[in-house]
Structure 1
Amino acid sequence: MKRRSLVGALAATPLFAPLCSPLAMAFAASCGSAWAAAGANPHAAARTAVPRRVIVLDWGLAELVLALGVVPVGMANTAGFRRNFPACAVPDSVVDLGLMFQPNMELMLALAPDLIVITPAHASMRGTLERLAPTVTLGMFRASAAPYTAACDETMRLARLFGREAQGEAAVAQSRNAIDAARARLAALPSGFVARDVPIYLARFIDESHLRVFGAHSLFGELLARLGLRNAWGGAPRAASAIIGFDALDADSRATLVYLKPLPALSATMMQTSRVWQAMPFARAGRMTGMAEAPPEGGILSAAYFATALVEALAALPSSNAAKLS
Structure 2
Amino acid sequence: MRLLAPALVTAAVLLSACGTTETPASTAPTGSAGGPVTVTDARGKEVKLDSPAAKVVTLEWAETETVASLGVMPVGVADAAGYKTWDAAVPLADDVKDVGKRNEPSVDSIVALDPDLVIMAKGRDETLVGQLEKYVPVIVTQASDASRNLDRLREDTKLIARAIGKSAEGDALLSDLDAAIADGRKAVEAKGATGTPFVMADGWLEGSTVNIRPFGKGSLVSDAAEAIGLKNAWTGEVDPQWGLGATDVEGMTAVTDPKTMLFYSASEEDVFTTGLAANPVWQRLPFVANGKIVKLEPGTWTFGGPKSVVGVVEQFVKAATA
- Shorter-chain TM band: 0.7 to 0.9
Q: Equivalent residues in 2 for 1:240-255 (5 A)?
A: 240-251=243-254, 252-254=256-258, 255=260
- CA offset at residue 187 of structure 1? 3.5
Q: Equivalent residues in 2 for 1:226-245 (5 A)?
A: 226-236=227-237, 239=240, 240-245=243-248
2: CA distance, partners of 1:147 / 1:37: 19
Alignment partner of 1:163 is 2:136:
no
2: CA distance, partners of 1:231 / 1:98: 36
Q: Deviations over 1:167-190 (max 9, x none)?
A: 11111111222233333333444x
1: CA distance, partners of 2:149 / 2:224: 9
- CA offset at residue 129 of structure 1? 0.8
Partner of 1:119: 121
- CA offset at residue 144 of structure 1? 4.1
Residue 68 (structure 2) aligned to one of 51, 66, 69: 66
- CA offset at residue 308 of structure 1? 1.0
Which secondary structure state, in structure 1, belongs to the residue aligned with residue 144 of structure 2? Answer: helix
**Where does the alignment leave 5 or more consecutive residues of structure 1 unmatched?**
1-33, 317-326
Alignment partner of 1:173 is 2:179:
no
Which secondary structure state, in structure 1, belongs to the residue aligned with residue 295 of structure 2? Answer: strand
Alignment partner of 1:143 is 2:145:
yes
Output the amino acid matched with 1:258: F
Partner of 2:13: none
Partner of 2:317: 311
Partner of 1:29: none
Q: How many residues align?
A: 277
Partner of 2:289: 284
Change (3 A) 1:236 1:175: same
Whether the 8 Å contact between 1:55 and 1:74 is mirrored in structure 2 is: yes
The structure with more helix, counted as a fraction of residues: 1
Output the amino acid matched with 1:215: G
Output the amino acid matched with 1:45: K
Change (3 A) 1:265 1:186: same
TM-score normalised according to structure 2 size: 0.76
TM-score normalised according to structure 1 size: 0.75
2: CA distance, partners of 1:196 / 1:36: 40
**Where does the alignment leave 5 or more consecutive residues of structure 2 unmatched?**
1-36
- CA offset at residue 107 of structure 1? 3.1
Change (3 A) 1:226 1:38: closer
- CA offset at residue 232 of structure 1? 0.2
Q: Deviations over 1:185-236 (max 9, x none)?
A: 33444x5xxx323311111132354311111110011011111000000112
- CA offset at residue 95 of structure 1? 1.4
Partner of 1:213: 214
Which secondary structure state, in structure 2, belongs to the residue aligned with residue 282 of structure 1? Answer: helix
- CA offset at residue 270 of structure 1? 5.1
Report the structure number with the largest CA radius of gyration: 1
Which secondary structure state, in structure 1, belongs to the residue aligned with residue 246 of structure 2? Answer: strand
Which secondary structure state, in structure 1, belongs to the residue aligned with residue 118 of structure 2? Answer: strand
Which secondary structure state, in structure 1, belongs to the residue aligned with residue 247 of structure 2? Answer: strand
How many percent of aligned residue pairs carry the same amino acid?
25
2: CA distance, partners of 1:226 / 1:38: 27
Whether the 8 Å contact between 1:214 and 1:241 is mirrored in structure 2 is: yes
